[in-house]
């Protein structure tokens, strides 16, 4: 019964979300793509999703999403949009990302890392059971003089295989910060008591000073980190702290968004090919760029097209190319929407829009 209700809401012009839309928010275009699934609502305000792929049965994968409030939580949804688990009483959880094969004692586990803004911390949870394994959190941006400079917002994880172990790093953004070295990167590790801790390994990243930096995404295979300098554009750096870590590789999407550049997500069509999607928040669209860059430069990301969706002012988003079953055989886009929910989109709908543009320029 629940599943039928969610599908009805999704195809009925996303009724639940539209009811929650305030007059001062931009409503979706009537011809916008419609989601396959709209999730159950949370009590407060959804913000950012991540997708955990089940190791043996992708149809049992989960979406992990934040519900941001001073008494908020993180939620696990199945692929039908039902809430199947949650952790409450977090102090304004903001963004979330997932890493696989994290070295936890003598085990390798999957983890979700969440920014807990009002605790000035990042939190680490084991997947899929959402068990906290950080003894209450890892403090970030310590010793910053201005209070707003130590409130974490965005977080993205980068993993790197070495000869002995897989290293996992958290790249963290904040509500406000300096014009240089806005992001801090922490190596996550497990101590002798199997508590996850973090060690700062670098600070990097230019900031325009215009608004804030929240959305961060890592292309783990290619080794890049992208982040949205809201109202300014999207910046690209190396994710590996051992490389030339203060050189900006690209600054794109500067003139493509109506106002705020928000959630960033990566769709992979091959080892180095695919798309980088950026939420054009006030336009209720996703801007689509080539993951591989151009023939002239792999860091040249020119707009391919934009796709209108039924989200209302989307903050966070996540993508996977993995076959998740009959509803999402080519993967799916998960996007936050105003209305305390997330929307799941069949990737094939988005790919169709991209193909129309690409075929017209051949």
Burial of 127 (0-12, 13-18, 19+ CB in 10 A): buried
Please report which helix (H) or strand (E) contains residue 352, including its range: helix 347-360
Asked if 124 and 196 count as a contact pair (C-beta separation under 8 A), the reply is yes
Q: DSSP letters along 81-98, please?
A: S-EEEEEEEES-EEEEEE
Residue 13 has pLDDT above 90, yes or no: no
Q: According to the model, what pLDDT value does residue 149 have?
A: 78
Tens digit of pLDDT for each residue in 174-185? 999 999 999 999
Q: According to the model, what pLDDT value does residue 23 have?
A: 52
Residue 196 has pLDDT above 90, yes or no: yes
Q: According to the model, what pLDDT value does residue 144 have?
A: 81
Domain count, the chain: 1
The mean pLDDT of 212-223, rounded to a whole number, is 97
| Residue 3: pLDDT band with limits 50, 70, 90 | low
Q: According to the model, what pLDDT value does residue 15 have?
A: 44
Q: According to the model, what pLDDT value does residue 57 have?
A: 98
Please report which helix (H) or strand (E) contains residue 200, including its range: strand 196-204
Q: DSSP letters along 118-176, please?
A: GGTEEEEEEETTTEE-STT-EE-STT-SSGGGG-EEEEEEEEEE-SS-EEEEEEEEESS
Tens digit of pLDDT for each residue in 254-281? 999 999 999 999 999 999 999 999 999 9
In terms of pLDDT, which residue wins out, 9 or 362? 362
Q: What is the mean pLDDT of the chain?
A: 93
Residues in the chain: 362
d(CA 222, CA 106): 28
Helices and strands: H and E segment counts in the chain:
3, 25
Beta-strand pair 183-190/250-252? unpaired
With left for phi above 0 and alpha for psi between -120 and 50, is residue 272 left, alpha or beta?
alpha
d(CA 36, CA 7): 7
Tens digit of pLDDT for each residue in 39-56? 999 999 999 999 999 999
The SS3 assignment for 61 reads coil
The mean pLDDT of 199-228, rounded to a whole number, is 97
Tens digit of pLDDT for each residue in 112-138? 999 999 999 999 999 999 999 999 999
- Work out the percent of the chain whose per-residue pLDDT is above 70: 93
pTM of the model: 0.93
| Residue 153: pLDDT band with limits 50, 70, 90 | very high
Q: Looking at residue 352, which CATH number applies to its domain?
A: 2.120.10.30
Asked if 117 and 110 count as a contact pair (C-beta separation under 8 A), the reply is no
Q: According to the model, what pLDDT value does residue 146 have?
A: 74
The mean pLDDT of 335-353, rounded to a whole number, is 97
- Work out the percent of the chain whose per-residue pLDDT is above 90: 85
Q: According to the model, what pLDDT value does residue 327 have?
A: 97
| Residue 27: pLDDT band with limits 50, 70, 90 | confident
In terms of pLDDT, which residue wins out, 2 or 40? 40
Q: According to the model, what pLDDT value does residue 342 have?
A: 98
The mean pLDDT of 292-319, rounded to a whole number, is 97
Structural domain span for residue 116: 2-360
Which tokens is 226 given? 């992208």
Q: According to the model, what pLDDT value does residue 163 have?
A: 83
């Amino acid at each position: 019964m629940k599943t039928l209700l969610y599908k009805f809401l999704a195809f009925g012009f996303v009724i639940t979300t539209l009811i929650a839309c305030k007059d001062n928010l931009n409503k979706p275009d009537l011809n916008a793509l419609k989601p396959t699934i709209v999730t159950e609502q949370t009590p407060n305000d959804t913000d950012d999703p991540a997708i955990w792929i089940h190791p043996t049965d992708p149809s049992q994968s989960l979406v992990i999403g934040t519900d941001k409030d001073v008494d908020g939580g993180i939620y696990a949804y199945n692929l039908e949009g039902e809430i199947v688990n949650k952790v409450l009483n977090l102090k304004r959880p903001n963004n979330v990302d997932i890493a696989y094969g994290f070295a936890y004692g003598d085990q390798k586990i999957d983890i979700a890392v969440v920014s807990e803004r009002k605790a000035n911390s990042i939190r680490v949870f084991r997947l899929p059971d959402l068990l906290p394994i950080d003894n209450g959190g890892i403090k970030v941006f310590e010793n910053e003089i201005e209070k707003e400079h130590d409130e974490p917002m965005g977080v993205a994880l980068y993993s790197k295989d070495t000869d002995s172990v897989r290293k996992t790093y958290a790249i963290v953004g904040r509500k406000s910060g300096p014009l240089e070295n806005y992001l801090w990167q922490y190596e996550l590790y497990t101590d002798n008591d199997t508590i996850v801790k973090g060690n700062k390994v670098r600070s990097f990243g230019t900031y325009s000073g215009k608004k804030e930096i929240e959305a961060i995404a890592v292309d783990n295979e290619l080794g890049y980190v992208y982040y949205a300098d809201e109202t300014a554009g999207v910046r690209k750096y190396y994710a590996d702290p051992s490389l030339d870590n203060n050189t900006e590789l690209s600054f794109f999407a500067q003139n493509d968004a109506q106002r705020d550049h928000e959630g960033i997500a990566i769709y992979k069509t091959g080892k180095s090919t695919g798309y980088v999607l950026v939420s054009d928040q006030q336009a209720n669209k996703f801007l689509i760029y080539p993951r591989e860059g151009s023939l002239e430069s792999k860091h040249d990301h020119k707009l391919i097209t934009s796709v209108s969706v039924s989200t209302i002012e989307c903050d966070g988003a996540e993508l996977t190319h993995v076959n998740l079953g009959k509803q999402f055989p080519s993967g799916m886009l998960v996007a936050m929407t105003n209305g305390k929910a997330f929307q799941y989109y069949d990737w094939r709908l988005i790919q169709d829009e991209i193909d129309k543009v690409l075929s017209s320029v051949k």
